[in-house]
Every structure is written in structure tokens, then in C-alpha cells.
Structure 1
Amino acid sequence: MSSSPSEVSKVSVKPIPGDYGIPFFGAIRDRLDYFYNQGKDEFFRTRIQKYQSTVFKTNMPPGPFIAKNPKVIAILDAISFPVLFDTSKVEKRNVLDGTFFPSVSFTGGYRACAYLDPSEPKHTSLKSFFMSTLASKHKDFIPLFRTCLSKLFINIEDDMVSQKKANLNKSSDAISFNFVFRLFGSQDSSDTKLGSEGPAIVDKWLALQLAPLATLGLPKYLKYIEDIFLRTFPLPFFFVKSDYKKLYDAFYESSSSVLDEAESFGIKRDEACHNLVFLAGFNAYGGLKIWFPTLIKWVGTAGEELHSQLANEIRSIVKEEGGVTFQALDKMTLTKSVVFEALRIEPPVPFQYGKAKEDVVVHTHDAAYEIKKGEMIFGYQPFATKDPRVFDDPEEFLAHRFVGEGEKLLKYVYWSNGRETEDPTAENKQCPAKDLVVLVSRVFLVEFFLRYDTFAVEIAGAFALGSTVTFTSLIKATSI
């Protein structure tokens, strides 16, 4: 058991270390270090060592041109990080993507709910609408997702037979998109004008918005060309305009009952639909696209002993409960812990931003720092959720970490833009689908180990975010 986090003591406020460098050129320097010379984790690690502090000044991409002000105060420990959840202290207006804000052309001319601060009246209306819609679909979550998963397993098994290996990402993308589309709509996405193009269209739409935060995986000698291409001018909506209309029309036609509900919240039908596309495409599908391969990566690389333990727990409880039910899932303590541990060690959304609404004092384990009103606060979540002062062996995937007494550490799992022990409300910025993500993650593991005894995977870096996961062996269950 790890030692408890230090009690926040009455310490004198220290000046925040670090600097932004020479105007314009300092931001370019930090950007090149972040993307090419050091990489994300080393970028932050070297600065923590240099300043002997988990709070410091730096610049965050994309830097000059696209971002008006790339200067941030980085907070990289478990104690300081939660200030980003306190909307009485930080403003969340237009900070979803950090120091820049993509054109509203990508969202039908509206600022989507994710870009709104809770102080804005429309935020309450839109998030209340989302939460009401999700609550009304509660009974559909498990059966719908199980149906989608059955298609994923068929595709993987077919690939294993024909190619002796199977890429998870492409099949996972397809079922993730269809699950989200079907959850809000009246039919499968393949039965609309989207056909099988839904995931590819959303990927393109996402890529154009988030390009300044990405790399293309090109050789290092091309880094300056890539950097200029991606981070000098925002990529225009024009390239995806016709595709987005097709996506919008598919949601508009298939989600009429959901859009009817939106009007009862005082939200115009077209604005509700654009927000629904954003929720489904950016928040839900975009997150699951990264998350499911990440989950299987960590479970796969943990080895056969964990696979056997999961299979035994899952199969015995499903047999006792007579099926895959909410009650059955709640009894699977190891399965729950595995999901939380994967969310801790590699959260699908690693960044959080907020602008100080007032002068704010943030505490770390050993010090306190004052952040001035108007300064941008940046949190890199993987460092906060791998804080060695909170978690034993923080870089290790420990499947049983949150079993029994370990549940007390769940308050330091921050993947949902809030503590795992807290709930989303219309007045905060915590993910409205927090519980759904945890649920479908458990169902994924349950269905997987009802079907297979063990498996092996190969991991490679993905084109933009997350990992590419390829099954190299897949052993069907010998007993259920």
C-alpha cells in the first residue's frame, strides 16, 4: 500500500519556476522539443527535474500563428491537478483543445457544449439534454453493445484465419461508431447514406480540427516541413464540408426522437443536432477510438495469469447471475479494477486546460504557488495519475490496484475531467458519459473472456493518437 499523499500544510507561496523564452521563438523552441526533440513525456520530465517542481511555466503547442497565447502554467501532480475541475476558480470557455480554438464551421456555426463554460446558460441546457438522453437509453446500453461486439469478434476471427493476425483498431472503430450512432438513432449507421463510411468521415473531421496537436509520424529530418504544414495555419473546414453534411443529415434523420427531446430543453433543433454530432463523433467515438485498443493493449501485455483470473471471475459470476447484467458487472471486482487501472495509467484524454478566473493558490505535496487571474493552467493527466507520492509502482500496470482497500485511491483517477468518485452534473465539466464508458469497458472484457481464454498482441504507435493493436494469437475458451 502506498503512503498517503502529504497533508497540505501552511507553507509560504513560492514563485512559479520556468520561463517562456524569447517572445515567438521561445514558443517555437518548446514546440519542437515537445513534438520532435524530446517527445511529450520527456518534455515534462526534464522540466520537472530542472525546476525541482511539478508546477512551472512553459509554452504549449500549437504556439504562434494558430494560438494567440501559448503560455501556460503546467501542473503535473495529483494534488494540484484537481484545480482544473473547480469551475469557480477556472474558466472552461473555448479551452477544450488547449491554447487554440478550432473554427465553429466544424460544428455548424455553433460553439459545442464542450467549449462552453458552465457559467454560460446554454451549457446547462445542453448538458442537461445530454444527461437526460443518456439516462433514457440506460436499458439499451448492455444489449446494444453486446450486439456490436459480436460483429467485432467475427471480424477478428475471420482475419486470424485468413491472415494469422488481426488488427483491432479498424474493427473497433467500426463497432464504436455504430454503437454510438445506434444509441442515439433508430437504425444502424450502415443503413443510412453513410454506409460504411461513418468512421472514416469522423476521422477526417477530427483530424482537420486537431491537426495542430498531432504529428504524422514522418522521419525526423522532415520535422520542420511537418511543423510548418500543421502549425502555421488552421486546416480549413472546406476539405470536409460535404462529408460533414452527410454526417449531420444521417444524425438528423435517425435521431428525431432525441431531437424532439432537445426542443423541450429550449434548444433549437439544428443546434441540438450539431451538438449531438459533436458529442457522438468527437467526445464518444473519438474517445472510444483511442480507448478500446488501449484497454486491450494493457490487458494483453499483462499476460496469461491475469487472463485466467479474469476469465474465472467473469464466467463464474455470469453463471451465478444468469447473464451479463448490471448486477453481475458490479460483482466483478477484478474486472472493475482492471478498467480503472488502464484509465489511470493511460487516460484517453491526457490534457486539461482552464483559465484562472481569479488569483489562485495551488498546492503540491510540498509547496504552494500563486497563479494569477487570466493565466492559462495546463494539466498533463498521465503525470498526475502516475504520481509516485500517491501510487506504488506508478509506471506498472497492476491489475488488482483498485481491489479492496485500493478502492480508496479511485479519487486520484481523473480521466473523466473529474474524480472517479464524483458524478457529472449540468453545472460541471465532467464527462456526461463517464459511467457509460466504464460500463462498456467492463462489458468489452466480459464478452472477450466469455469467448477467449488468452491472447497475445503486438503494439505499434498509431498515426495520430493512441496505439495500434494487432492480435497475434487468440485462444478460444475451452470452458464457460
Structure 2
Amino acid sequence: MEVTELLTLPAALTLLVFFLSLPFITKFVKTRKHPNLNLPPGNLGWPVIGETFEFLRSGYDGKPESFIRERMEKYDSRVFKTSVLGEPMVVFCGAAGNKFLFSNENKDVQVWWPTSVRKLLRSSLVTKVGYEAKTMRKLLMSFLNPEALKNYLAKMDTIACCHITTHWQGKEVVLAYPTVKQYALELACCLFASIEDPIQVSKLSPQFDEFLKGVISFPINLPGTRFHCATKATNAIREELKLIIKKRRLDLEEKRASPTQDLLSHLLVTSDGNGRFLNEMEIIDNILLLLFAGHDTSRSVITSVIQYLGQMPHVYEKVLEEQLEISKGKEAGQLLQWEDIQKMKHLWNVASEVLRLSPPVTGSYREALNNITYADYTIPKGWKLSWSTGSSHKDPTFFPDPDTFDASRFEGTGPTPFSYAPFGGGPRMCLGQEFARLEILVFMHNIVKRFKWELLIPAEKFLYDPLLKPSKGLPIRLQPQV
């Protein structure tokens, strides 16, 4: 929700908003009553609103870590309390905070997401906890692990080459962010659900844009709010997926589709460890989740890599040198092999440093299953917990001169454990990590071999809304490689 969204609601709806907010107000009042507990220091802010506007504003300013850093300096560098999106919350800071949360999953803490996320992604993995989450994750990972993804590398490379030929080749100026989004969505649609019709993909694209805008917002389902628009868009995507699933079931029965052709077929024909198959809504919600996560986060990373390489020609040249060496000896049109991906060490170090400095998301959330003692404070059962990439990614203890780009940080054994967490950590680490790595490497390999580029807005602002994106779409001028 935009900072001004609540302030621009028609006056006639004010009373309705108040009654919709009563559960949040009740919760807020209750959280004030812990006289015998030594809560972490901090400020819960206004009822319902809390410090949400300050939290969102730091993202719109492109400096989400400033919200965390200011409170670390003011209250405690290890942990502090706040209230965002209608929830009292304790923010764990730095590598030690990451380690505590990641190591205590399903013991003292479990995954939690704001109401807007849970209502939009319903029965997907994101909303599951405990044993349910473990079995569903295992089912999805059997398609997304490196061994399985090897079988899809050629298709990924083909899609990247075709996309670049169609949307980049022969163009003088390209708006990188929306163009990369098209590639990432085409790839996710193809690999997860065999959606290859450009018209069908283009129909889904604006729906995902609306979904993204409202996925982190106050869950007030009134016309004009981000959450309302996101709900409508999500329902439209679900209806489209229902039709695809209906056709796929028939195609599988009549042997016109393969059980291994994509994630959708995999989920339709594969049971969990107890012999239970996912129901239709679980399949739809998980495909929705992976289509969203499989393209929106990746387009943020790829766009950021393009920006950093445009700003630093010496880094670009070293990346180009590595990619040309990989291509040496290949025949024209020969696709990437798995061993080629393993040779892209410097490119991945560059992407990793981009992920450190400009992660596509700024953290995630947990819930306390018990009263927790941490850093001499007591956190009540039921309180929401948060960790932030900014509190560890730019910690000079682990990353000297943290604002300076230095891909060599990832050589050798790499960063100290728990200090670097763009994909989270512990049992809830992003299950699409390997898919994202391949997506980024394959695209960047193909783009740097074909073009150099110039940033037309060298100091363009990047902001979080809720994922990282350039404010003007990152226009670049292309220069074909000689």
C-alpha cells in the first residue's frame, strides 16, 4: 500500500475502515500489556499503523536498511521492537539474529507472513508450517533441485536466445526492467506450466503486476486499494490456471502430455511421502507462487546486474572475458551445457555481490512459538519476528568497506555463515535458489556476448515496492559486440 493510500480513501468509507481495523486495534492494545516481560527496546508507533509509513518510505527512498540501521543505533544493535502492517514485531539484527531465527525453525519459531500474503497465496508452500511444509517442500524440490534442472538447461538457453533476438537485437535503446520481466515471465510460464503462447503470457503479465503491488499491504479489500486490485488479479490468474490444469489432466490421461514435461505435470502425477496428492487448489496456489517468485525476483536481480555492469566497465570486461572463454570452440547455435554453467564462477561472484548490495527482497518473517529469551530480552509467544538483509549485508565486521562493490568477497570460502542471506537460510531457504542462479547466469551469458551498453540515466534511483526496481525502468543504449 502506498504511504498515502489510507489518507486518500473517501470520507464516507472512514467508519468502515475503522470497523475493519478493530481486530488490529485490539491486538495492538493487548501487546502493550506485558508488564512482567523485559521486551526489547523500540517504538510500536500509532495504533494499527505502527511505524508502517516509515518502513515503507525507506523502501520507496531506495534505502530500506536505513529503517533498520536507525533503530539499531537508537535502541539496540542486536534486536528491537516495532509495529508494521498491523503487527507488533521484533526485528533481529545482523548475522547473529539470522543464525538464531534460521537455526530455530520449527522449534521456537515458525515462518509467518503478513495477512495480505496469506490471503493471496492461500494454500501454497508460503503459508505452510511444520510437517505440512516439509512434505510440500520436498515435493516441489524434486523438480527444482540441480539434478532435475539439468534437464531444462537447454530450454532455458533457447528461451534466452530467442528473447534477446526478438526484443534486443537491432534495438538502439531498450528499457531493461520491463524487457527482462518479459524474458523471466516467459521462462517461468514455459518451465512451470508449458505456457508458451505469447498472447497467453502477455495476458498474465499485467495480472502479476497488480498482484505484486498488493502482496505486501494492509489487507483492506475496498475498491481502489492495492490489496483489492491484487485480489482481483490473483483470482483472474487462478481461473486461467484452472483451465490449464483441466486440459493437462485430459492430455495426461490420453498420453498427449508427459508426466515430466514441467512442474504442473509433476504435481499432478506425484504424491508426497504418505501417498497423498495435492488437491487442485494446492496445485494452483503453488504454481501461482512459483510463477510469481520465479520471475519477479529474478528480473530485479538481472536488472541490477545490468545496472552495475553499465556503471563499471572494468567489471563488465572481466565478465565478458569469462563468457567468451566458455563459448570458445562451440559451434554456432550450440547450446550451453551443465559444465559451462560451472565455469561461470566470476559471473556468479558478480551477481552475488549485486545480491549483497541490492537484494530483490529485504528479509522475511517468523512467529514466536514460545516465549523467547534473546540478547537478555524476553519476546512473548505469538509475537511476529523479522530479519533483514541490510543489517548483515552491510555490516563492516563481515564486509569491510561495505558500500564498495567487490566481487572478490565471494572467492574461496566466501562470507561468514549467516552474514549473507539473499535467499534466506535454514529449513525455509528459498527453494528456487538454484533455478534463480541458472536463470541469471544463462541470461547474462547471452546478453554480454552480444552487447555492451550505456546507462541513459547513470544515477537512476532504485526503490522497493515491494521488490527492488528502477524508478524509470533502466533505459540503456545498446552497442552490438564486434
Partner residue of 1:212? 218
Could you say what secondary structure the match of 2:336 adopts? Answer: coil
Q: 1:392 & 1:82 partners in 2: Cα distance?
A: 20
Q: 1:334 & 1:320 partners in 2: Cα distance?
A: 20
How many residues are treated as equivalent by the alignment? 416
* 2:93 maps to 1:76: yes
Partner residue of 1:53? 77
Could you say what secondary structure the match of 1:184 adopts? Answer: helix
Could you say what secondary structure the match of 2:44 adopts? Answer: coil
Deviation sequence 1:246-288 (CA, Å, 0-9, x none) = 2442355356632333346512340342133233223222322
Partner residue of 1:314? 323
Q: 1:36 to 1:304 in 2, by over 3 A?
A: closer
The amino acid of 1:200's aligned partner reads P
Deviation at 1:392, TM superposition (A): 0.9
Partner residue of 2:240? 246
Partner residue of 1:412? 419
Deviation at 1:461, TM superposition (A): 4.2
Could you say what secondary structure the match of 1:432 adopts? Answer: coil
Q: 1:174 to 1:370 in 2, by over 3 A?
A: same
Deviation at 1:315, TM superposition (A): 1.1
Deviation sequence 1:368-391 (CA, Å, 0-9, x none) = 544343322111212222112111
* 2:393 maps to 1:385: yes
Partner residue of 2:370? 358
1:54-453 superposed matches below 5 A: 54-60=78-84, 62-63=85-86, 70-85=87-102, 86-93=104-111, 95-96=112-113, 98=114, 100-102=115-117, 104=119, 106-107=120-121, 110-117=122-129, 119=130, 121-135=131-145, 137-157=148-168, 160-161=171-172, 165-190=173-198, 194-212=200-218, 230=225, 237-238=231-232, 240-250=234-244, 253=247, 257-263=265-271, 265-301=275-311, 303-319=312-328, 324-362=336-374, 369-404=377-412, 407-409=414-416, 412-418=419-425, 428-453=427-452
Unaligned runs of 5+ in 2: 1-36, 249-261
Could you say what secondary structure the match of 1:80 adopts? Answer: helix
Q: 1:124 to 1:271 in 2, by over 3 A?
A: farther
Q: Identity, % of aligned pairs? A: 18
Partner residue of 1:32? 53
Deviation at 1:336, TM superposition (A): 1.8
Deviation sequence 1:281-333 (CA, Å, 0-9, x none) = 232223223332223223322x1111111111221133268863222222333
Q: TM-score, normalised by structure 2?
A: 0.76
Could you say what secondary structure the match of 1:151 adopts? Answer: helix
Deviation at 1:84, TM superposition (A): 2.4
Deviation at 1:46, TM superposition (A): 2.1
Q: TM-score, normalised by structure 1?
A: 0.76
Q: 1:74 to 1:177 in 2, by over 3 A?
A: same
Q: 1:171 to 1:251 in 2, by over 3 A?
A: farther
Deviation at 1:240, TM superposition (A): 5.0
**Contact 2:454 2:478 survives alignment (8 Å):** yes
Q: 1:197 to 1:290 in 2, by over 3 A?
A: same
Q: Please, which moves more after superposition, 354-363 or 344-353? A: 354-363
Q: 1:55 to 1:438 in 2, by over 3 A?
A: same
Q: 2:74 & 2:464 partners in 1: Cα distance?
A: 31
**Contact 2:181 2:296 survives alignment (8 Å):** no
The amino acid of 2:301's aligned partner reads W
Deviation sequence 1:357-415 (CA, Å, 0-9, x none) = 2343445xxxx54434332211121222211211111122212221235x244653211
Q: 1:76 to 1:253 in 2, by over 3 A?
A: farther
Q: 1:29 to 1:159 in 2, by over 3 A?
A: farther
Q: 2:117 & 2:322 partners in 1: Cα distance?
A: 45
The amino acid of 1:337's aligned partner reads N
Deviation at 1:354, TM superposition (A): 0.8
Deviation at 1:116, TM superposition (A): 0.9
Q: 1:242 & 1:17 partners in 2: Cα distance?
A: 44
Q: 1:186 to 1:89 in 2, by over 3 A?
A: same
Q: Please, which moves more after superposition, 379-388 or 264-273? A: 264-273
Could you say what secondary structure the match of 1:431 adopts? Answer: coil
**Contact 1:152 1:171 survives alignment (8 Å):** no
CA RMSD of aligned residues (A): 3.3
Partner residue of 1:6? none
The amino acid of 1:17's aligned partner reads P
Q: 1:455 to 1:326 in 2, by over 3 A?
A: farther
**Contact 1:72 1:378 survives alignment (8 Å):** yes
Could you say what secondary structure the match of 1:268 adopts? Answer: coil
Q: 1:455 to 1:150 in 2, by over 3 A?
A: farther
The amino acid of 2:449's aligned partner reads L
Partner residue of 2:14? none
Deviation sequence 1:52-86 (CA, Å, 0-9, x none) = 524111112x22xxxxxx11111221221222223
Deviation at 1:444, TM superposition (A): 2.1
Partner residue of 1:456? 455
**Contact 1:248 1:274 survives alignment (8 Å):** yes
